[in-house]
């Protein structure tokens, strides 16, 4: 007979049906603790959440439709367990293509169906990571069809496996701070966080005024991380799958302002270098608030910031992985005569420039791919960017074979 004292809790489960916290022991016996408040909203698609109690390194969500989602979680000893995997960032329309390959294969070409299957197999084999971003969450939540929204959300969640791209605005802010710190007496010695990460609450940063969830005080550090990682995973999954559609935010006027500037620039008789300086000035006006805020956080005096803005700003920005690429995308679109600006262009440019600044591969739609590839060449980046999934899969296969 087994020694009862040797048994241990191996699984924590939040069960929607019974509204209980279920503790499962290694001998499969259970203890059920009623919850004081229902754990899920009526619009939630989740049925239960499971947390590995011994390792605290994984959470599994089950939906009311019977689908399962596995998220990796960071632990105190393995905060960023990338383990040599390649980072492949997919634009929203490429996630949609993979979702269609799984749920509506007739809508996808045979070569891209094969590429989709290969990418997902590499995820399962722990050879690549397909991170999700806040942009993916926002675009998915706005889809009108409940069925298509669920399929797309499920595809992104199941195959991102908890990996996230940090908030691009936060990444940009920190890049600028680091650049400014090189011109101050107190040069920064901070360790820059990884852009692709399992760190809780990375999708949205302080640059947006976001305040992350914090575990209760006086918990041991490993349990604090586990609690925060579990809550982040649960909220991310629940939000993405929620049956209620997210309404688009208000038009900020960004596209109209850029359209007006592009139209004006098209009529100017200036050479390319003169136009670049003009576009740089327009960019400085667009991100001037970010620059000034970063200078204040870096402790740079106003007079020194003014001197930097006049003499060094664009040469320093060019060296920044994310913001430097954003500048090139900004230039490439404005320098082309007849460019038409859409409200979503700002989102695409911000997220793709951040992804391409730090990922190994990026796959996006044609008009962004061309400008991004040109910008990557100008800043001498090794990131590879493709228009089609099958092209990216071939290049990834080559790199995996070499390594």
Per residue in 204-231, pLDDT (tens digit) is 988 787 888 888 888 888 889 999 999 9
Are 352 and 398 contacting, i.e. CB atoms less than 8 angstroms apart? no
CA distance 147 to 107: 16
> What are the backbone dihedrals phi and psi of residue 179, each rounded to the nearest 5 degrees, phi first?
-65, -40
Domain count, the chain: 1
Per residue in 219-268, pLDDT (tens digit) is 888 889 999 999 999 999 999 999 998 888 888 899 999 999 999 999 99
CA distance 328 to 377: 10
Per residue in 188-197, pLDDT (tens digit) is 555 667 999 9
Which two three-digit tokens encode residue 220? 């041991």
Mean pLDDT of 303-316: 89
Which two three-digit tokens encode residue 36? 């004081």
Are 112 and 394 contacting, i.e. CB atoms less than 8 angstroms apart? no
Would 278 be classed as within a structural domain? yes
Would 18 be classed as within a structural domain? no
Instruction: Please give the biggest Cα pair distance in the chain.
Output: 90
Query: What is the structure's pLDDT at 255?
Result: 93
Would 20 be classed as within a structural domain? no
CA dihedral for 108, 112, 115, 120, sign (positive or negative): negative
CA distance 240 to 212: 18
Mean pLDDT of 87-107: 96
Query: What is the structure's pLDDT at 187?
Result: 54
Percentage of residues in the chain having pLDDT higher than 70: 97
Q: Is 165 exposed, middle or buried (0-12, 13-18, 19+ CB in 10 A)?
A: buried
Would 9 be classed as within a structural domain? no
Rounded to the nearest 10 degrees, the angle between the axes of helix 302-311 and helix 272-298 is 160
Report, in angstroms and rounded to the nearest whole number, the Rg of the chain calculated over CA atoms. 23
Q: What is the mean pLDDT of the chain?
A: 91
CA distance 175 to 191: 12
Other Cβ atoms within 10 Å of 220 Cβ, number? 9
More reliable by pLDDT, 191 or 335: 335
Mean pLDDT of 111-126: 97
Q: Is the pLDDT of residue 330 over 90?
A: yes
Reported as a pLDDT band with limits 50, 70 and 90, residue 56 is very high
Which two three-digit tokens encode residue 291? 């620059």
Lowest mean pLDDT among 208-222, 224-238, 313-327, 338-352: 208-222
Find tokens 């169906």 and name the residue: 113
Reported as a pLDDT band with limits 50, 70 and 90, residue 95 is very high
Q: Is 331 exposed, middle or buried (0-12, 13-18, 19+ CB in 10 A)?
A: buried
CA dihedral for 381, 387, 392, 395, sign (positive or negative): negative
Q: Is the pLDDT of residue 157 over 70?
A: yes
Would 37 be classed as within a structural domain? no
CA distance 241 to 63: 9
Would 17 be classed as within a structural domain? no
Q: Which domain holds residue 168?
A: 86-403
Reported as a pLDDT band with limits 50, 70 and 90, residue 2 is very low
Query: What is the structure's pLDDT at 52?
Result: 92
Q: Is the pLDDT of residue 4 over 60?
A: no
Would 80 be classed as within a structural domain? no
Would 102 be classed as within a structural domain? yes
Most confidently modeled range among 5-14, 224-233, 292-301:
224-233
Count Cα neighbours of 198 within 13 Å in the Cβ-side half-sphere: 22
CA distance 129 to 144: 28
> What are the backbone dihedrals phi and psi of residue 386, each rounded to the nearest 5 degrees, phi first?
-135, 160
């Amino acid at each position: 007979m087994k020694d009862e004292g040797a048994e241990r809790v191996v699984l924590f489960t939040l069960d929607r049906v019974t509204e209980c916290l279920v503790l499962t022991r290694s001998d499969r016996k259970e203890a059920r603790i009623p919850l004081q408040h229902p754990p899920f909203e009526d619009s939630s698609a989740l049925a239960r959440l499971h947390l590995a109690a011994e390792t605290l390194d994984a959470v599994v969500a089950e939906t009311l439709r019977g689908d399962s989602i596995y998220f990796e979680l960071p632990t105190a000893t393995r905060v960023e367990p990338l383990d040599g995997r390649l980072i492949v960032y997919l634009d929203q329309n490429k996630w949609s293509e993979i979702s269609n390959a799984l749920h509506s294969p007739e809508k996808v070409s045979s070569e891209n169906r094969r590429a989709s299957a290969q990418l997902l197999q590499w995820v399962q084999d722990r050879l690549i990571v397909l991170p999700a971003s806040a942009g993916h969450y926002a675009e998915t939540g706005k889809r009108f069809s409940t069925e298509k929204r669920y399929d797309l959300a499920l595809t992104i969640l199941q195959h991102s496996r908890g990996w996230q791209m940090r908030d691009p605005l936060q990444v940009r802010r920190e890049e600028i701070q680091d650049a400014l710190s090189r011109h101050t007496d107190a040069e920064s010695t901070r360790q820059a966080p990884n852009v692709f990460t399992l760190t809780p609450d990375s999708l949205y940063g302080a640059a947006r005024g976001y305040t992350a969830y914090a575990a209760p005080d006086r918990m041991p550090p490993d349990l604090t991380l586990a609690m925060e990682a579990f809550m982040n995973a649960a909220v991310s999954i629940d939000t993405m799958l929620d049956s209620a559609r997210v309404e688009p935010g208000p038009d900020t006027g960004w596209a109209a302002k850029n359209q007006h500037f592009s139209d004006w620039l098209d009529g100017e008789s200036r050479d390319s270098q003169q136009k670049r300086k003009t576009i740089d000035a327009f960019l400085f006006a667009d991100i001037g608030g970010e620059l000034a805020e970063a200078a204040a956080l870096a402790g740079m005096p106003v007079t020194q910031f003014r001197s930097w803005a006049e003499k060094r700003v664009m040469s320093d920005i060019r060296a920044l992985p994310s913001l430097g690429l954003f500048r090139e995308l900004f230039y490439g679109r404005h320098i082309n005569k007849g460019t038409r600006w859409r409200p979503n262009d700002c989102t695409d440019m911000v997220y793709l420039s951040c992804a391409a600044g730090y990922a190994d591969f990026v796959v996006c739609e044609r008009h962004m791919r061309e400008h991004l590839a040109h910008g990557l060449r100008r800043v001498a980046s090794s990131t590879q960017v493709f228009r089609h999934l099958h092209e990216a899969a071939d290049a990834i296969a080559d790199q995996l074979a070499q390594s």
